[in-house]
Structure 1
């Protein structure tokens, strides 16, 4: 059954819508963070709570055009209750979620002291919000987390609706902080619609990813990109060839809108239209944009994070980054690795 409050959430969000000199190792011990986490679904599926009370407590949760009878039926639907039950097994009493998000929000307060901490609402979407499991509005001070998007890549519920393998990589609670920062970045990193060149879009995605570097200093690059370790390794090994392809095809300063879908959209692989494409991960140009920004900060270590995330000219950032990866070479020296659950993950030095 389609979750009818999905539109209400979306509307709320849309309309409120390295050199040693540069380091993200800042002292945030003085940043006091007490997160407020509320489980909407705990109340929604408690049929002893009147619907009128739910509407008063969670006005953003309900689509006003939906009849009360539809809501009442949904509150008792066995499938919906089962999905929520499995979600609660993963999240428990939210202690793990609180512990995972608190350090990130300490850094958030450090870099953006003028922004208030959001109230965090968790909910079960009935498997409807798997594409965008975290939504954030800085203006409204709200964050929404679809718990059923983190049941684990091997969840039988995902089998039942045919969730593709490349999407399941992120469906792990350990990857939730990275997706939370991505939702924040979508809301606070500025982008001018006038900037339609491919380099502008790469730089924009790179800025969003650099926010993850700043707020998630102990998180592997795989989590930040939504990649597997093998995909990050492929990117590192082929960085020069990827960039050379963009240059040779005259894509860098192109305004061809199709490049967005081919190289920046979430997909099982990037569309090179040659024999290597299915070896590549999706969003490869976002990863390149990230390396450009990282290089820019090496060359310009005094640039403040907030200034970088504003609408700085993408072409100028690219020029000042002096980005030119070697066509043939080993870039693994820029990374340290760490084993997590038997897999080797990558961390930028």
Structure 2
């Protein structure tokens, strides 16, 4: 069984509270979807597993396997390093893992925080309609929610994407302080969930190449993701989409010419050096190749500007942008020159 465990905290995150129902147009769109009976429903593995952990039984085990079999293989790999749901040790290991007092409290806090997920279901339903518009024949797969104990942020299967809700309990959540730095906690907010479901799906749509990627390819792929998110979440601001504060976004805009000049002058653009690429794209307090005053992930931000310019200059459809594999062609036709 093949599946992908995606650690989205290597990428972007939401930086300011966003209300899923604050915009009247979005409310109307959500209501329209509800009336059509197409509202997305998030499958609550977290709740179902918790009920089992409180009162274990073979009947409940069979029910979990029947409802979540393939996902439970991936979930077991993430949490207990055991993917064999057919052996008795699988469920005993799960019970042992979640019996830890700290993790047990985190689990309860996650269930309390996300006792209601309707706002996310509405927002994702609107985004799904836009996916159908921009990607003919495509739509979101089944979406789920789990608690991993601060491990994999998302688990992605061919027909199922699940978010680990304990990674979204809020910047000031007390359980985070011993495990995450300030710049990481800035991202760990409930309102990130819709964005991260969509990002996980977008990643499955970008063609995979066996060719060793250079920095240009990596930042343009990040730019494709952000550009797609911008179209699927049209009510969100740029800072929220990439996970910057307004001050970080302003810094990036004001220093755009200098960022690009350093990248080109230092011959970074076509480097395949892993550490250089990581410095441009990893979640970090700043982008080490540019400035200690900068926000992290400036490579993703520059890639976003290139893709936006390419779309504007060529009129290319979103689907064709995602599928375009010639990154130098994207850069050339974008005429990007801040």
> Quick check: TM above 0.5?
yes
Partner SS state of residue 120, structure 2: helix
Q: Distance in 1 between matches of 2:43 and 2:198?
A: 19
2:146 aligned with 1:152, yes or no?
A: no
Number of residues paired by the alignment?
A: 296
Contact 2:4 2:156 survives alignment (8 Å): yes
2:226 aligned with 1:187, yes or no?
A: no
Match of 2:106 in 1: 83
2:324 aligned with 1:311, yes or no?
A: yes
Task: After TM superposition, give the deviation of residue 185 of structure 1 in Å.
Answer: 1.9
Contact 1:45 1:75 survives alignment (8 Å): no
Stretches of structure 1 that go unaligned for 5 or more consecutive residues are 1-7, 16-24, 326-349
Contact 1:191 1:311 survives alignment (8 Å): no
Q: Distance in 1 between matches of 2:110 and 2:5?
A: 26
Task: After TM superposition, give the deviation of residue 128 of structure 1 in Å.
Answer: 2.1
Partner SS state of residue 319, structure 2: helix
Task: After TM superposition, give the deviation of residue 208 of structure 1 in Å.
Answer: 1.2
Contact 1:209 1:224 survives alignment (8 Å): yes
What is the 5 A alignment of 1:1-349? Answer: 12-13=3-4, 33-46=38-51, 47-48=54-55, 49=57, 50-59=60-69, 60-61=71-72, 62=76, 63-64=83-84, 66-74=89-97, 76-129=99-152, 133-137=153-157, 140-159=158-177, 161-194=178-211, 196-272=213-289, 277-301=291-315, 303-325=316-338
Stretches of structure 2 that go unaligned for 5 or more consecutive residues are 7-24, 77-82
Deviations along 1:10-65, one digit per CA (max 9) or x if unpaired, are x52269xxxxxxxxx9x989875321222112121213353233223221214217
Partner SS state of residue 157, structure 1: helix
Partner SS state of residue 190, structure 1: coil
Greater share of helix residues, 1 or 2?
A: 2
Match of 1:330 in 2: none
Contact 2:128 2:139 survives alignment (8 Å): no
Q: Distance in 1 between matches of 2:220 and 2:241?
A: 16
Q: Could you say which structure has the greater relative contact order, defined with CA pairs below 8 angstroms and 6 or more residues apart?
A: 2
Partner SS state of residue 45, structure 1: helix
Deviations along 1:141-186, one digit per CA (max 9) or x if unpaired, are 2110111111100100101x33111111221111222222221222
Is the alpha carbon distance of 1:69 and 1:191 closer, same or farther for their aligned partners in structure 2, counting shifts above 3 Å? closer
Q: Distance in 1 between matches of 2:4 and 2:274?
A: 25
Q: Distance in 1 between matches of 2:211 and 2:93?
A: 43
Contact 2:310 2:333 survives alignment (8 Å): yes
Contact 2:146 2:162 survives alignment (8 Å): yes
Task: After TM superposition, give the deviation of residue 91 of structure 1 in Å.
Answer: 1.4
Q: Distance in 2 between matches of 1:67 and 1:175?
A: 31
**Superposition RMSD in Å:** 2.6
Deviates more, 1:147-156 or 1:90-99: 90-99
Contact 2:221 2:303 survives alignment (8 Å): yes
Is the alpha carbon distance of 1:300 and 1:317 closer, same or farther for their aligned partners in structure 2, counting shifts above 3 Å? same
Contact 1:28 1:107 survives alignment (8 Å): no
Deviates more, 1:147-156 or 1:195-204: 195-204
Deviations along 1:252-271, one digit per CA (max 9) or x if unpaired, are 23333332112122222111
Match of 2:13 in 1: none
TM norm structure 2: 0.80
Is the alpha carbon distance of 1:116 and 1:217 closer, same or farther for their aligned partners in structure 2, counting shifts above 3 Å? closer
